[in-house]
Each structure stands twice: as C-alpha cells, then as structure tokens.
Amino acid sequence: SRLAVVVVAAGSGTRLNGGAPKAFVPLGEHSILHHALRGVFAGPSAQVVIVVPAGYENAARAAVATAGGHDVTVSVVTGGASRQGSVAAGLAALDDGVDIVLVHDAARALTPPVVFERVFDAVAAGAAAAIPTVPVVDTIKRVDVAGHVVGGVDRSELAAAQTPQGFRRSVLAAAVAAATADHTDDASVVASAGHTVVTVEGDALSFKITTAPDLERARALVAPHAA
Ligand code: C5P
C-alpha cells in the first residue's frame, strides 16, 4: 500500500484567539504545525500534504524543515473556507500511486506516532475507514434551546472521535465529491456514503487544541522539564 497523510491546518483559530491562524500559534519554541508534523514524520512513511491558509505556504515549508521532513515528499496547498473544503484541496494534491489516505487535524499536535500506525494498519488490513476513539468520561445530556435538560444519552454507546482518520483513497474521494451536508469529520462523510467505519484505540495526548486552556496544557506538555 502507498500512504498519504493530509494535515489540515487551514483553520482560523477563532476560539483560540492566538494572534495567528491556529496551526501557526507558538507551542514553546515552534508552532503547533511543527509539533503536528513531528508526529506525522515519526509515523508510517507517506507522502505528506499540508493544507494551510492563503499566505502561510512558506511558513508551512519552514515547519517541515524544523520538524525534520527533509527526506519526505511534501506538498503544501491552500485550504478552503470549511474543513471539508480544505480536505478536498488536500485530496487534489495526492500522488497517483497513493491508495490509503489519513486525514489529520494539525490542532491535534501531540498525537503519538503509534496512533498513525494503528489507523494505517486497520485500513491496510481491509477496512474502508478507520478512526481512533477514546471513551467518553463525562455524563452527556441532551439540552434544548432554553438550556433545559431533555434527556440523557447512554455513555456506554458513545466514543469520542479523534484524528488521524484513515480511508481507502477511492472511498474517501468518492464520498467527499458526493457530500452535500456539513460534516465535522471525514468519517461522517464516508459513513453517510454507506461505508462501515471501524475504530482503533486513540490516545489522550491526541486532544484537539481548541481553546486557551488547551493551548496552556499543550505548552506544559512540550516544555523542557526543570533541571
Ligand atoms: O476548527 P477545528 O479545530 O475543529 O478544526 C479542525 C482542523 O481542521 C484544524 O486542524 C484546522 O486547521 C482544520 N481546518 C482547515 N480548514 C478550515 C477549517 C478547519 O484546515 N477551513
């Protein structure tokens, strides 16, 4: 199998308010994107496509260099207004021979390389789609517009979806081309097209940097330990 990893890094980071598009906000000495790429480059070998906001193409190439991607085939492309548009832009840059695609949020900057291996292995073994998940620890409520609890949800039936999400290339390309509704992840696009999505074990370190406290937590995790 030939693998490509599409790293979507074209979000604005409105909820983070970090002074730059989220992937380019500093996490210690380097950017969120640099840390995300370190994990990608330490995973299974692949073509890597990085999707960035217009004007950040050179900054992305700089992050490739600091993250150690010298021997990797890297393409940098400009993203779209929605995450789905950014994924479509990334898919358009895939090499001909690629048959398995992993789509990864740059915002999950500390994802361990072993998670990339698990997702890739599941698709290489025959799954059309595979996603890493972790159990839901909170009790989840359904809430109406007035803020009143209208019901519970059985937690044992829930799992929190992370990235990288892996797909047979033909399956993802066809599902993305056919998608009309707005989806918050790629597995949902592929499930809407009728495909089975399998799960593999995710990791707590794959949390998505979304808010300022998430950024603080990530910064603490990459900080050098006091001597
Ligand atoms: O906004 P959210 O944190 O859910 O975005 C998840 C990932 O999708 C981020 O890595 C973000 O950079 C990416 N994204 C994108 N293009 C957009 C919106 C989000 O690449 N238009």
CATH at 9: 3.90.550.10
Is 13 close to ligand 1, i.e. is its CB under 6 Å away? no
How confident is the model at residue 89, as a pLDDT? 96
**Is 218 inside a domain boundary?**
yes
Distance CA 175, CA 179 (A): 6
* Residue recorded with tokens 């190439």: 61
Share of the chain above pLDDT 70, in %: 99
Is 61 close to ligand 1, i.e. is its CB under 6 Å away? no
Residues 128-170 have pLDDT tens digits of 999 999 999 889 999 999 999 999 898 889 999 999 999 999 9
**Is 156 inside a domain boundary?**
no
Quote the ligand 1 centre to 11 CA distance (angstroms): 4
The number of folded domains in the chain is: 1
Answer whether residue 180 shows pLDDT above 90.
no
How does residue 220 score in pLDDT terms, banded at 50, 70 and 90? very high
How confident is the model at residue 73, as a pLDDT? 96
Q: Whose CA is nearest to atom 20 of ligand 1?
A: 10
Answer whether residue 112 shows pLDDT above 60.
yes
Per the CB < 8 A criterion, the answer to whether 7 and 104 are in contact is yes
Q: Give the global pTM.
A: 0.95
**Is 139 inside a domain boundary?**
no
Is 82 close to ligand 1, i.e. is its CB under 6 Å away? yes
Answer whether residue 227 shows pLDDT above 80.
no
How does residue 224 score in pLDDT terms, banded at 50, 70 and 90? confident
- The minimum-distance atom of ligand 1 relative to the CA of 8 is 20
Residue 190 belongs to domain spanning = 3-131+161-222
